[in-house]
Structure 1
């Protein structure tokens, strides 16, 4: 293995926005041993404070499910894939055909735009450091650059919600989800997912899939876990992630990622 790619939330990052000392030490030891490390997350680049607190301003993070690549050291966007305001409007029409009550948010290169009513007091899955609540306007979406479109509904689960709309928006956006217990879809450029962007990043380092060790826990990690030479899903993770990886490690609370990295560095096959 030459590169370790890891999801954040639910994989190494706890709900209280901390990463355990054991996990931090394992990644530090991996770097010291000459392995490349990249974090691959659904988070926007503005929500990387927990990574910076734990690991400093070093390395690259693939954000927004692969739609954006961010340089932590230089604090700058290296690459992004956006969708147009016209595409957003078309997707909204499709979604509301099936779920008229659906509400939307757009993660852009400058902030988070929320339609009125997107959030309620019960929704604890969205962290909100920079938010503007206003009806969507295509010109504004185009100017700000939409890297991820969020759609939330009630009365069904995320898998059923995805099944309702995915075929009809194929070619317009990719569709996945990662928020436990919330019918919240995450949509981005149709050619983008975590695996696509990770593969390009690895290729730039002269590393192929067989040399990548990847960790994740939710459906937005499925392509990455299947692509990597060694994919591990968390024991506490989603069944789709487990099936894609073909391997599991202990839960987040048991430092499952650190356990695998420690075995790797000790020369134990993983």
Structure 2
């Protein structure tokens, strides 16, 4: 074990925005043992405060399902994969013909843009004050890193099953929302595993030496690539089916339990 790659939401971070003290101590122990730590998330760079403030992480975070590699130390984008407007527009047209009243948003390197109706009746506190706007080609100038589509009825699994066969050759499509029919789409061929593999290679670390944790469909490729890919027992059935290993539930500090056991095994080796 030379590198730990962990998802954030539902894996180490709860709905209350907190990371448990046991998990924080496990990451600290791993770092003190000389093991690298990288967080791999669907979150954009603007939404990394829990990692910065609670973990004290100042290294690399792979964001937006692999579309962005971000340095917390310099607060800057190290690398990015972008979506051209032509792809965004084409995919939007296809989805609009498949589902009733989908609403769209774009995550770019310079902001978050939502069209009217995307937020729904209950606006999340994290988006308080965000003004809806028309999505235009000019937004591509800011570097589009993620496209989102939401239905305010149904669930994400059914929405994904409907959309993926029609747009999978144009764009990467996945989801990580447990209770909302929200799809996350990025550059074709880009996912958490692709960018994590690039990052590990830059450090001279092979897949066999990477321990990864995740809980949702957007983690599937990463869990399959890592030498030890753990799906959380509390995670999505598709993530559990795809992973070779299972960590205890998030509520039981599953990531911490695995890290503690692996560090103990290293000390005995």
Normalization by structure 2: what TM-score? 0.95
1:57-136 aligned within 5 A: 57-122=57-122, 124=124, 127-128=126-127, 131-136=130-135
Tell me the alpha carbon deviations over residues 147-184 of structure 1, each in whole angstroms, 9 at most, x when there is no partner: 00000014432122112121221232100000111110
Deviation at 1:3, TM superposition (A): 0.5
Q: Distance in 2 between matches of 1:158 and 1:100?
A: 14
Deviation at 1:55, TM superposition (A): 2.1
* 8 A contact 1:58–1:73 mirrored in 2: yes
Q: Distance in 1 between matches of 2:42 and 2:128?
A: 16
Q: Distance in 2 between matches of 1:224 and 1:161?
A: 22
Compared CA separation, residues 15 and 4, structure 1 to 2 (3 A): same
Gaps of 5+ in 1: none
Compared CA separation, residues 10 and 154, structure 1 to 2 (3 A): same
Match of 1:169 among 167, 173, 176: 167
Compared CA separation, residues 173 and 230, structure 1 to 2 (3 A): same
Structure 1 residue ranges, 4+ long, deviating more than 6 angstroms after superposition: none
Normalization by structure 1: what TM-score? 0.95
Deviation at 1:132, TM superposition (A): 4.4
* Range that drifts further, 45-54 or 162-171: 162-171
**Corresponding position: 1:44 with 2:50:** no
Q: CA RMSD in A?
A: 1.6
What SS class does the counterpart of residue 267 from structure 1 fall into?
Answer: helix
Matched residues, number: 267
Q: Distance in 1 between matches of 2:25 and 2:147?
A: 35
Q: Distance in 2 between matches of 1:251 and 1:240?
A: 15
Deviation at 1:241, TM superposition (A): 0.7
* 8 A contact 1:111–1:132 mirrored in 2: no
**Corresponding position: 1:200 with 2:198:** yes
